[in-house]
Structure 1
Amino acid sequence: MSGPQGAPREHHPAWWYGDVPVPLHARLLAGLYAGAGALRRRLYRVGLLRQQHPGIPVVVVGNITAGGAGKTPLTIALVERLRAAGWNPGVASRGYGRDNAKRALWVEAATTPREGGDEPTLIVRRTGVPLRADIRRAAAARALAQAGCDIVVCDDGLQHYALRRDVEIEVIDARRRYGNGQLLPAGPLREHPERGRRCDFRVVNLGGPGTPTLNGETGFGEWPMRLRAERAVPLSGGRPRSLSDFAGQRVHAVAGIGDPERFFAMLRGLDIAVVPHAFPDHHRYSREDFEFGSRLPVLMTEKDAVKCAEFGSDLFYAVPIDAELPEAFWVALLSRLTQTRTAYQHPTP
């Protein structure tokens, strides 16, 4: 799954983020995509398609680009910070890649990634939060409210307009931003950039140590997020190791996320000699995927690790990622949510 000499293979069209002409067929399909999206949004605006709300505050974490931008680390950080502030959060998720996507279910620590999806399984195992996987996120939000949660965090739901929300958080990858600025499939955008600017908070994922960025800074009204990785957790059990133990060593690095290079760059920033192995987002692993031809430590993202426990040996490690944001971001967000909760508890006559 890697390119020549270990170079990671891109899993998106070259024209999305490169100086490559967009093919005519992609431009034509993008026009159809834009028309369909505009019609759907209009139907919600005029009420022909109805939005639903669970009666408790709803926070949506998402992005307007296809692929990963750092939503899952932010969702985990949000759950932990809400709990520390006295909230009882629940997470609503589609559970992308589940075997039976049409069946709603509660994702628990013992749920397999095939049953619950890789990202929901990771979120639950990291936080223990109540998580409802349902392609109908509005139904998932209602179930969480009925289960006693007092706030819903919707993981990856900016385009799921059936669920009415109180706060929207857009996550942007600093290295890629909006690519060529065109809609799918001519570019990486699900919606036009103006959609992101209408979100209440815009978080820019600057990555971790040594991660390259296109502009290095966030823009006006954007909050910076850094990803911190400090330990490696053996898949076969045992005590975690400090990532500094791997400094100066060659390792196989495995990432099946939206932007694998972000993970590889993070490890390189810690002076780890990376042999990169990039896989498609949400890849389902087999033993054959790990026949690398050399016996080196294997460092992988947590999202990949939850799917690889059965292949784990004493050389396989998961690398937990923690999201760090300015304290001012949390103050602003929690203040907004407190006002929202008060409005639901004491509605205006």
Structure 2
Amino acid sequence: MSLEDWLNKRWYPAAEGGIDSSMPLPLLAPLELAFRQGSRLRKLRNSPEPLPVPVIVVGNITVGGAGKTPLVAELGRWLQERGRKPGIISRGYGGRAKHYPYSVSAQSHPLESGDEPLMLHLMTGLPVMVSPKRAEAAEALIAEHGCDVIISDDGLQHYGLWRSMEICVVDGQRGLGNEHLLPRGPLRESPERLGSVDMVVVNGEPNALVESQCGDQADFVMELAPSLWHQFNLDQTSTLKLESGPEAGPCHAVAAIGNPQRFFNALRNLGYTVMEMPFPDHHQFTQHELQLDGETPVIMTMKDAVKCRDFWQSHWWAMEVQAQLPDIFYQRIHQHLESFQPA
């Protein structure tokens, strides 16, 4: 069992079939206290200058995937369809560019840009700017692309970035786990943080645990629906968007995301017989790792596919999911933009 699996069984006992305890990982309590104090100090030390355009931060308070990136993509598409000029900023986890801010293009390599920024650019076609200092990335998007709305992919805890709106995404099955802070639990901030954000979006119908943890703070339920299939061209830079993927049947399912079971279950719901291949979040693939039988379809997430372009094979497929939200969610976004006044 990997360390990640070992921790997940203790962080998310209800969702992972793990160890349910009223005192989880007690030896880590001093480290949890130190993390809590460090988080408070980091917040107090930052008083960023406002930006001239709305900045919408989409993030979570847990480590691992909660579904924020598909929501970022959907929000960007929705804004663009309504005549706005949105741009996306990211820290670019897993990438190391030669300079920052780094402008993501279709030719970018995930080792430079990070996997999620490249995925977002390929999915939406929107300008994506990466920098460990997200405010720097936002300023570059405004100056270079004339963006009138900035969407931050993650960053609720990045208090060096000024924001006009905060959206927190919560996994509908995992929720807040054991409700402890790192490293004793999966939380990057305390559960009370949900009360200070503008909207809480639950990814998937919440189970009883999540309902009890979020209570009336959960504003909307989001569903992730398969929307397009992708295969990369031989030039390894562009992607073909297809209406249908491989025929339902056996497949190797590859996922290096925060919650791979969500992806595996989605494929099963489409009729596939799934041979699971989970990897740690943000894993950098090698060609050797995916040399399987050469015939059975290999299906992966878009986030993983962008890391496999250099050795893409014809029987590999990437499944894009689209966030589906109620109309009132978009009404809240519209109201915020209409009422925004530059400082």
Under a length normalisation based on structure 2, what TM-score does the superposition of the two structures give?
A: 0.88
Which residue of the other structure, out of 65, 68, 72, is the alignment partner of 2:65? 68
Corresponding residue for 2:11?
16
User: Is 1:236–1:313's contact at 8 Å kept on the other side of the alignment?
Assistant: no
Corresponding residue for 2:35?
33
Partners of 2:320 and 2:336 in 1: CA distance = 29
**Matched-pair identity in %:** 38
Q: How many residues are treated as equivalent by the alignment?
A: 326
1:230-253: CA deviations, max 9, x gaps?
44323356673624x532x11000
Structure 2 SS opposite 1:204: strand
Partners of 1:162 and 1:239 in 2: CA distance = 37
Corresponding residue for 1:108?
105
Partners of 2:241 and 2:175 in 1: CA distance = 37
Which aligned pairs between 1:196-235 and structure 2 lie closer than 5 A?
196-206=194-204, 213=207, 219-220=215-216, 221-235=218-232
Letter in 1 for 2:309: A
1:61-116: CA deviations, max 9, x gaps?
00000011111100000001111122111111101111248732111111111111
Shift of 1:125: 1.0
Corresponding residue for 1:46?
none
Partners of 1:168 and 1:197 in 2: CA distance = 11
Task: Give structure 2 stretches of 5+ with no counterpart.
Answer: 14-18, 235-239
Structure 2 CA distance for partners of 1:264 and 1:188, relative to 1, 3 Å? same
Which aligned pairs between 1:133-144 and structure 2 lie closer than 5 A?
133-144=130-141
Structure 2 CA distance for partners of 1:11 and 1:126, relative to 1, 3 Å? farther
Task: Give structure 1 stretches of 5+ with no counterpart.
Answer: 4-8, 44-48
User: Is 1:95–1:101's contact at 8 Å kept on the other side of the alignment?
Assistant: no
Partners of 2:326 and 2:158 in 1: CA distance = 28
Corresponding residue for 1:182?
180
Structure 2 SS opposite 1:170: strand
Partners of 1:202 and 1:286 in 2: CA distance = 37
Partners of 2:328 and 2:221 in 1: CA distance = 11
Letter in 1 for 2:27: H
Shift of 1:20: 4.7
1:194-251: CA deviations, max 9, x gaps?
11221101111118xxxx95668785342111111144323356673624x532x110
1:245-303: CA deviations, max 9, x gaps?
532x1100000001000100111111211001001111100012113457410000000
Tell me if 1:156 matches 2:157.
no
Partners of 2:88 and 2:82 in 1: CA distance = 17
User: Is 1:52–1:138's contact at 8 Å kept on the other side of the alignment?
Assistant: no
Partners of 1:179 and 1:166 in 2: CA distance = 28
Under a length normalisation based on structure 1, what TM-score does the superposition of the two structures give?
A: 0.87
Letter in 1 for 2:33: G
Deviation larger for 226-235 or 318-327? 226-235
Partners of 2:9 and 2:253 in 1: CA distance = 23
Aligned-residue RMSD, C-alpha:
2.3
Partners of 2:336 and 2:318 in 1: CA distance = 35
Structure 1 SS opposite 2:5: coil
Letter in 2 for 1:317: W
Corresponding residue for 2:78?
81
Letter in 2 for 1:180: N
Letter in 2 for 1:122: M
User: Is 1:90–1:152's contact at 8 Å kept on the other side of the alignment?
Assistant: yes
Partners of 2:207 and 2:93 in 1: CA distance = 28
Structure 2 CA distance for partners of 1:280 and 1:289, relative to 1, 3 Å? same
Structure 1 SS opposite 2:53: coil
